[in-house]
Amino acid sequence: MKMALGCLVYWLSGCATSSAISPPREGKWPIRDTQLFVREVGLQSAATIVVLHGGPGGNHLGLRAFEKLAPQFRVVLYDQRGTGESDRLQVSPEQPDALKRLSLEENVEDLEDLLRRSRTYKVLRHSFRTARRRLGMRLCHFSVLGNHVHFIVEADDKVALRKAMTGINVRIARSLNRLMNRRGRVISDRYHARALTTPTEVRNALGYVMNNARQHAYTASALPDVYSSWADMDAVVPPETWLLLEGWGRGTRRSRRATE
């Protein structure tokens, strides 16, 4: 008998060192609702140092001395929103609401999104793809956030779920340690699982995982988050349970009638 589904979360951490030299890379990165000018020095596989300039109105130019920390570290400098070579924001006394886009909170969320955009996702995706149908578990959906991952899976039973999650944890840890040239613990907490047994629960879980990056302001786009299975279906497998195949749709219809 199928156990239905689980929504899983675990936390990641890690660092690395390297000795090779890499030329600077720079350009505009699409970050949330704007484009930020970003300059990188050092290997992608090295531990990352992100250098923040002051403001308002500053830029990264006076901080390039930190690039001497490469190649031991990957050094990232960038111009915060509305400053330097990043896209300008139309702010004026006639548009007071536009000032909200220059708040400290907006800059913090920009930084979180910038940190996600690295080779780490490629390593995670490979681990997901390798483990997507192993040990009695099927990985059907995922969303990668700043320091944790959400999964929606199908599992034959609790034992299969536990074995499969242990296996994917090991794969992720080995892959990230190899990428970052380090040893030690990567997964800092046990995964948290919730069994989903009704169409409404599955509908809510799908909506939560699919829109989680948008809820945390990692993206402002209406398109699927690029760090989720909705934009990367090759990394997961099609569902086999009735709940994920079509049952969740009944939950959607019941919710709509209840709110009408």
The pLDDT tens digits of the residues spanning 66-102 come to: 999 988 888 899 999 989 999 988 777 777 777 778 8
Q: What is the pLDDT of residues 126-159, one digit of tens each?
A: 899 998 998 889 999 999 876 788 999 998 888 8
Distance separating alpha carbons of residues 48 and 65, to the nearest angstrom: 16
Half-sphere exposure of 131 (CA within 13 A, CB side): 27
Q: Does pLDDT of 45 surpass 70?
A: no
pLDDT, position 60: 93
Is the pTM higher than 0.85? The answer reads no
DSSP state, 154? E
* Strands 133-134, 137-144: pairing kind: antiparallel
In angstroms, how far is the first alpha carbon of the chain from the final one?
Answer: 36
Residue 245: C-alpha distances to residues 31, 119, 160, 251 (Å): 34, 32, 21, 12
What is the mean pLDDT of the segment spanning 35-57?
81
Characterize the bridge pairing of strands 195-196 and 5-11. Answer: antiparallel
Residue 92 is classified by DSSP as B
Which range (97-106, 208-217, 228-237, 251-260) has the least confidence? 251-260
Confidence of residue 8 (pLDDT cuts 50, 70, 90): very low
Q: d(Cα 80, Cα 65) in Å, to the nearest integer?
A: 18
DSSP H helical ranges for 152-223:
158-180, 199-215
Tokens standing for 84?
A: 């330097």
Sequence-separated (6 or more) residues with CB below 8 Å from residue 131: 137, 139, 164, 167, 168, 171
Cβ-contact 154, 138 below 8 angstroms: yes
Under the banding of pLDDT at 50, 70 and 90, the label for residue 116 is low
| Residue 202 vs residues 15, 169, 230, 246: alpha-carbon distances, Å | 36, 24, 16, 10
Q: Measured between alpha carbons, how far is 53 from 190 in angstroms, rounded to an integer?
A: 36
Please tell me which residue, 194 or 255, carries the higher pLDDT value. 194
| Residue 16's pLDDT band (cuts 50, 70, 90) | very low
Residues linked to residue 36 through DSSP beta bridges, in sequence order: 29
Specify the DSSP class assigned to residue 18.
-
CA distance 59 to 227: 29
**166 pLDDT higher than 60:** yes
Distances (CA, A) of 162 to 7, 12, 193: 13, 18, 10
Kind of pairing between the strands at 5-11 and 137-144: unpaired
What is the C-alpha separation between 219 and 255, in angstroms, rounded? Answer: 26
Q: Percent of the chain beyond pLDDT 70?
A: 81
Whether residue 13 is predicted with pLDDT greater than 50 in this model: the reply is no
Looking at residue 19, its pLDDT comes to 42
